[in-house]
């Protein structure tokens, strides 16, 4: 009997430490469809995919691939059966060239002699180049992965999955770090794969994308299957309701705060090759958005303001006084906080507990003569956990046991403990679930109300338009415009953000 | 809440794992040799044997938690021992002089390591491999290739003396240094920062931590402790031997690793290191008593290191 489905996962169950994270979950995927898998972080999407890829073992249930019952013990077996996954956290070998990464583990050889085989680098480069040109991707196969942008690395990973002639491609948040233009390239590739009968399981938090490309949608919540239906029978509000289990009204809770005095002024800020001649100011009680394409220099700008890197020229004024910030600790002393773009690499100590992460920056205020007052530390951690609604079993839990959204809240807490006046947020809601996003939005509003000045970089335009009082747009390292609330529109932002694109 | 409880159980079980292993080994040795091994005098002797390695291991623990390694401590032991003995001849200097100079020598080497690692951005393995070789050379030159004998009685008593007539001074030093370092590691801002830079150096820097300064302090501390260890060893062997302390760095690293400190930095408990140092001493003492040849002892010690790390990795994988 031939099934309609290329993949059926039936009654999948999985527990960790006695807690069920998947409860009789079903997933059926048809050949040639884009199947969106959505749910809040911790809903079980990743676990389900890890079971499919053979990274986790299932407790109960079965997986039927092409009508055949299968059970993979590792990702290699899954790949051999045509199931491939593009992970959210990319894992390229940074010191290898692009072509070598594409052919990693299945190198083209001059002569096959097991591990002693000589790799035909030239042939690999040529095949990579022809793959790239077929897909309209402009990356030199000879470059080292280290020298690529996050977006380019993502594209290489996608090409790698495509080149494996997979029957099922799992994409975990593939657009979280790439520009709109690159998203178009990605979608073209997805359409092309679809037409070839490849099934795509697409994990994303971005509603607009899901409705653009998904044929069918499966929603998970707390390890349960909530619904599987055709995309055109569902709408955004229904999806959000199913994901969070409650109705979310007014997704962007904009607080109206009357802006106060100017607290931060950046004048003629330049850094060689990264950004030039940036001027702007920030008032207390104001949320200023920073829009721009990935690679426009936004993160570089705020990292420079914060003292992680140094400007080649330019000045910073705090409440009218010129300050010299050479190191993050200078910035912290001046009551500036920076929530960086990448919480895993620059935000958190993944080997520490929630409590120790929260107290990382503000620890000096919790200590006498260098000796930590553990009661104060515990109280501060508990207070932040409650205030930020961080879902955690105990302040002593390891930070890695938290979902992405809750980890992000810990990063925020860490900075709020220093009672900053100026809070810079770089992609504060990247890759986190709807519920946590809303908590963070609400919190930003409260901070503004309390007289803090907030500068927020975001690649999600609806988020920028929903929360900001003003939006600064940066393109190719230059400030190309400033929009007031009544001038906000997707078109205006994109026009300014792509001003230098043509050159 | 169920998960929390089970998580805690799992954690404490893992931490207890090293205690269990230690107790099992103790029990086995006591059964095999109740008369010789289990005597109180022998147990105190074990503590004494563990003390110098234990002091080195404590410094090594700081370095490894901070994400580094220090290969130079064995050579520092030799150098500071030679310096101490050279200034401890009868009728020359007061006792404080050899003590201070030995500790200063160790601290200076540690400081140089720290400068190389923190400000030169040279990998710790390379910096300390270099200083390990250099310092050994300096020790040999300073001693003209020969052990330095003829030290005062007071100098001999630094390690050779007893408190209350029964507890060797060495054990007291070991306990006091361990407790002070444990306090610093777990309760002070400095200790927390050592963990932070070992856990995620970039995040630590962004969080305003002066990563270079902390690294400098960590390597200096490790050198300082190696200086003390060298002084104590010289006092114990009543001479400054420029070839002493060979492979002491490896014993210190072994104690730290057996104690469950991750080689990649950022995690580990002080009492694990103490148990690690005690374990090494117990095993060699026990095997000596059982008349196992020192050649076999090496094999057993090596196996224990590997098994300890294997258990550690498996324990982490389960989480």
Per-residue three-class SS string for chain B: CHHHHHHHHHHHHHHHHHHHHHHHHHHHHHHHCCCCCCCHHHHHHHHHHHHHHHHHHHHHHHHHHCCCCCCCHHHHHHHHHHHHHHCCCCCCCCCHHHHHHHHHHHHHHHHHHHHHHHHCCCCHHHHHHHHHHHHHHHHHHHCCCCCECCCCHHHHHHHHCEECCCEEHHHHHHHHHHHHHHHHHHHEHHHHHHHHHHHCHHHHHHCCCCHHHHHHHHHHHHHHHHHHHHHHHHHHCCCECCCCCCCHHHHHHHHHHHCCCCCCCCCCCHHHHHHHHHHHHHHHHHHHHCCCCHHHHHHHHHHHHHHHHHHHHHHHHHC
Indicate the Cα dihedral angle B118, B123, B124, B125, nearest 10°.
-170
What the block records as the tokens of A14 is 């999985």
Q: With respect to residue B300, please indicate whether it lies within any of the assigned structural domains.
A: no
Looking at per-residue pLDDT, the higher value among B262 and B223 belongs to B223
Q: Tell me which chain B residue has its CA closest to the CA of residue A365.
A: B189
Note whether A328 contacts B200, CB cutoff 8 Å.
Answer: no
Bridging pattern class, strands A60-65 and A68-70: antiparallel
Taking each helix axis as running N to C, give the angle between helix B96-114 and helix B124-142, from 0 to 180 degrees, rounded to the nearest 10.
150
What span, in angstroms and rounded, lies between the C-alpha atoms of A461 and A292? 9
Element housing A128 (H / E): helix A121-135
Range of the domain at B229: 47-247+261-268
Q: With respect to residue B39, please indicate whether it lies within any of the assigned structural domains.
A: no
How many beta carbons lie within 10 A of that of residue A94, not counting itself? Answer: 12
What span, in angstroms and rounded, lies between the C-alpha atoms of A99 and A418? 46
Task: Give me the pLDDT at residue A1, please.
Answer: 45
What span, in angstroms and rounded, lies between the C-alpha atoms of B68 and B62? 9
Domain boundaries, chain A: 7-244, 250-335+421-503, 343-419
Considering only B29-38, B101-110, B128-137, which range has the smallest mean pLDDT? B29-38
Note whether A360 contacts B196, CB cutoff 8 Å.
Answer: yes
Task: Please give the order of strands across the beta sheet that includes A60-65.
Answer: A19-29, A7-16, A60-65, A68-70
Q: How many domains does chain B have?
A: 1
How many beta carbons lie within 10 A of that of residue A59, not counting itself? Answer: 14
Q: Is the ipTM of this complex over 0.85?
A: yes
Which chain A residues touch B199 with a CB distance below 8 Å?
349-352
Q: Residue A100: name the closest of A151, A138, A156 by CA.
A: A156
Note whether A327 contacts B204, CB cutoff 8 Å.
Answer: no
Sign (positive or negative) of CA dihedral A111, A117, A120, A125 = positive
Q: With respect to residue B32, please indicate whether it lies within any of the assigned structural domains.
A: no
Q: pTM surpassing 0.80?
A: no
What the block records as the tokens of A48 is 């389900």
Q: Tell me which chain A residue has its CA closest to the CA of residue B267.
A: A351
Q: Give whole-number Cα distances, B32 to A9, B45, B291, in Å.
A: 57, 18, 12
Element housing A239 (H / E): helix A236-244
Note whether A374 contacts B187, CB cutoff 8 Å.
Answer: yes
Over range B17-27, report the average pLDDT: 83
* Contact status of B266 with chain A (Cβ, < 8 Å): yes
* Contact status of A15 with chain B (Cβ, < 8 Å): no
Q: Which CATH architecture has domain A7-244?
A: 3-Layer(aba) Sandwich (3.40)
Task: Give me the pLDDT at residue A45, please.
Answer: 87
Please tell me which of the candidates B3, B203, B209 has its beta carbon nearest to residue A393: B3
**Cβ-proximal residues to A306 (8 Å cutoff; 6+ apart), any chain:** A325, A328, A331, A336, A338, A424, B206
Note whether B210 contacts A356, CB cutoff 8 Å.
Answer: no
Task: Please give the order of strands across the beta sheet that includes A168-172.
Answer: A83-86, A168-172, A199-203, A34-38, A216-221, A224-230
What span, in angstroms and rounded, lies between the C-alpha atoms of A435 and A429? 11
Over range B234-251, report the average pLDDT: 95
Q: Residue B211: name the closest of B189, B225, B233, B196 by CA.
A: B196
Note whether A371 contacts B188, CB cutoff 8 Å.
Answer: yes
What span, in angstroms and rounded, lies between the C-alpha atoms of B162 and B180? 21
Q: With respect to residue B60, please indicate whether it lies within any of the assigned structural domains.
A: yes
Fold match flag (A7-244 vs A250-335+421-503): yes
Nearest-5° angle of CA B299, CA B300, CA B301? 90
- Whether B9 has a pLDDT exceeding 80, the answer reads no
Nearest-5° angle of CA B8, CA B11, CA B15? 135
Task: Give me the pLDDT at residue A379, please.
Answer: 96
* Contact status of B203 with chain A (Cβ, < 8 Å): yes
CATH topology of domain A250-335+421-503: Rossmann fold (3.40.50)
Note whether A361 contacts B1, CB cutoff 8 Å.
Answer: no
Task: Give me the pLDDT at residue A243, please.
Answer: 79
- CB burial of residue A375 (10 Å; 0-12, 13-18, 19+): exposed
Q: With respect to residue B311, please indicate whether it lies within any of the assigned structural domains.
A: no
Which chain A residues touch B189 with a CB distance below 8 Å?
363-364, 367, 370-372
Indicate the Cα dihedral angle A423, A426, A429, A432, nearest 10°.
-120
Q: Tell me which chain B residue has its CA closest to the CA of residue A16.
A: B3
- For residue B318, the distance in angstroms to the closest alpha carbon of chain A comes to 10
Please tell me which of the candidates B187, B192, B199 has its beta carbon nearest to residue A350: B199
- CB burial of residue A439 (10 Å; 0-12, 13-18, 19+): buried
Which chain B residues touch A364 with a CB distance below 8 Å?
189
Note whether B266 contacts A393, CB cutoff 8 Å.
Answer: no
- For residue A363, the distance in angstroms to the closest alpha carbon of chain B comes to 7
Contact A328, A312 (CB under 8 A): no
Contact A274, A429 (CB under 8 A): no
What span, in angstroms and rounded, lies between the C-alpha atoms of A49 and A37? 10
Q: Residue B270: name the closest of B169, B180, B197 by CA.
A: B180
Task: Give me the pLDDT at residue A246, please.
Answer: 56
Which chain A residues touch B10 with a CB distance below 8 Å?
17
Tokens 């690690």 label which residue?
B276
Note whether A17 contacts B2, CB cutoff 8 Å.
Answer: yes
In sequence order, the β-bridge partners of residue A10 are A62
What span, in angstroms and rounded, lies between the C-alpha atoms of A413 and B207? 12
User: With a CB-CB cutoff of 8 Å, which residues 231-290 of chain A face chain B?
Assistant: none
What the block records as the tokens of A374 is 């553990």
Note whether B195 contacts A351, CB cutoff 8 Å.
Answer: yes
Element housing A383 (H / E): helix A374-387
Q: Tell me which chain B residue has its CA closest to the CA of residue A375.
A: B187
What parts of chain A have a pLDDT lower than 70? 1-3, 17-19, 41-42, 88-91, 177, 245-251, 501-503
Please tell me which of the candidates A306, A349, A361 has its beta carbon nearest to residue B199: A349
Indicate the Cα dihedral angle B189, B191, B195, B201, nearest 10°.
60
Mean pLDDT of chain A, nearest integer: 87
Please tell me which of the candidates A349, A367, A370 has its beta carbon nearest to residue B203: A349
pLDDT tens digits, one per residue of B177-203:
999 999 999 999 999 999 999 999 999
């Amino acid at each position: 009997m031939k099934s309609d489905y290329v993949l059926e996962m039936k009654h999948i169950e999985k527990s960790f430490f006695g807690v069920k994270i998947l409860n009789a979950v079903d997933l059926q995927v048809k050949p040639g469809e884009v199947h969106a898998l959505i749910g809040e972080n911790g809903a079980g999407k990743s676990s389900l995919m890890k079971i499919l890829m053979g990274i986790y073992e299932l407790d109960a249930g079965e997986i039927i691939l092409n009508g055949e019952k299968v059970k993979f013990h590792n990702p290699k077996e899954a790949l051999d059966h045509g199931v491939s996954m593009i992970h959210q956290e990319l894992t390229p070998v940074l010191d290898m060239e692009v072509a070598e990464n594409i052919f990693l583990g299945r190198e083209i050889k001059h002569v096959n002699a097991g591990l002693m085989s000589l790799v035909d680098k030239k042939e690999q480069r040529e095949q990579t180049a022809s793959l790239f040109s077929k897909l309209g991707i402009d990356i030199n196969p000879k470059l080292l992965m280290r020298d690529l942008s996050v977006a380019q690395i993502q594209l290489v990973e996608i090409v790698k999955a495509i080149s494996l002639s997979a029957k099922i491609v799992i994409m975990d948040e593939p657009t979280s770090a790439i520009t709109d233009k690159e998203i178009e390239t990605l979608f073209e590739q997805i359409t092309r794969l679809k037409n070839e009968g490849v099934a795509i399981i697409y994990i994303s938090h971005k509603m607009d994308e899901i409705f653009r490309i998904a044929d069918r949608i499966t929603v998970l919540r707390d390890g349960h299957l909530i619904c599987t239906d055709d995309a055109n029978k569902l709408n955004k509000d229904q999806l959000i309701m199913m994901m969070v289990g409650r109705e979310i009204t007014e997704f962007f809770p904009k607080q109206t705060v009357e802006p106060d005095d100017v607290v931060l002024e950046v004048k003629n800020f330049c850094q060689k090759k990264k950004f030039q001649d940036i001027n702007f100011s920030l008032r207390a009680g104001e949320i200023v958005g920073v829009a721009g394409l990935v690679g426009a220099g936004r993160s570089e700008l705020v990292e420079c303001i914060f003292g992680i890197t140094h400007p080649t020229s330019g000045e910073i004024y705090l409440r009218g006084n010129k300050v010299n910030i050479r190191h993050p600790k200078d910035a912290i002393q001046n009551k500036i906080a920076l929530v960086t773009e990448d919480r895993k690499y620059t935000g958190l100590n993944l080997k520490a507990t929630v409590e120790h992460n929260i107290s990382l920056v503000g620890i000096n205020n919790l200590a006498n003569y260098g000796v930590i007052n553990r009661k104060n530390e515990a109280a501060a951690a508990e207070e932040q956990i409650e205030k930020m609604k961080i879902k955690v079993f105990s302040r002593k839990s390891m930070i890695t046991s938290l979902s992405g959204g809750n980890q992000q809240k810990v990063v925020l807490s860490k900075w709020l403990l220093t009672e900053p006046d100026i809070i810079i947020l770089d992609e504060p809601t990247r890759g986190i679930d709807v519920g946590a996003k809303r908590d963070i939005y609400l919190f930003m509003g409260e901070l503004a109300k309390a007289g803090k000045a907030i500068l927020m970089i975001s690649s999600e335009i609806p988020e920028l338009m929903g929360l900001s009082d003003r939006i600064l747009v940066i393109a190719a390292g230059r400030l190309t415009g400033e929009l007031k609330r009544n001038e906000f529109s997707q078109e205006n932002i994109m026009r300014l953000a792509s001003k230098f694109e043509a050159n | 809440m169920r998960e929390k409880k089970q998580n805690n159980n799992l954690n404490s079980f893992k931490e207890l794992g090293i205690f269990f292993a230690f107790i099992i080994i103790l029990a086995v040795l006591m059964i095999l040799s109740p008369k010789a091994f289990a005597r109180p005098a022998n147990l105190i002797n074990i503590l004494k044997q563990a003390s110098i390695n234990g002091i080195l291991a404590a410094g090594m623990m700081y370095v490894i938690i901070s994400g580094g390694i220090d290969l130079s401590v064995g050579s520092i032991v030799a150098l500071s021992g030679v310096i101490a003995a050279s200034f401890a001849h009868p009728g020359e200097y007061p006792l404080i002089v050899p003590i201070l100079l030995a500790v200063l020598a160790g601290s200076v080497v540690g400081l140089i390591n720290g400068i190389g690692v923190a400000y030169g951005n040279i990998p710790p393995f390379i910096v300390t491999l270099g200083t390990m070789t250099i310092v050994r050379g300096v020790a040999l030159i300073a001693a003209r290739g020969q052990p330095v004998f003829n030290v005062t009685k007071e100098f001999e008593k630094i390690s050779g003396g007893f408190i209350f007539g029964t507890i060797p001074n060495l054990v007291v030093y070991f306990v006091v240094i361990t407790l002070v370092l444990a306090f610093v590691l777990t309760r002070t801002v400095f200790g927390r920062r050592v963990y932070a830079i070992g856990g995620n150096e970039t995040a630590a820097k962004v969080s305003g931590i002066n990563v270079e300064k902390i690294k400098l302090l960590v390597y200096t501390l490790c050198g300082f402790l190696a200086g003390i260890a060298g002084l104590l060893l010289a006092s114990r062997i009543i001479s400054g031997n420029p070839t002493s302390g060979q492979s002491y760095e490896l014993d210190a690293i072994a104690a730290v690793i057996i104690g469950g400190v991750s080689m990649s930095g950022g995690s580990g408990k002080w009492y694990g290191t103490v148990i690690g140092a005690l374990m090494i001493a117990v095993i060699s003492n026990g095997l000596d008593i059982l008349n196992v040849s020192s050649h076999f002892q090496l094999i057993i010690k090596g196996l224990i290191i590997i098994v300890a790390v294997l258990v550690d990795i498996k324990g982490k994988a389960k989480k």
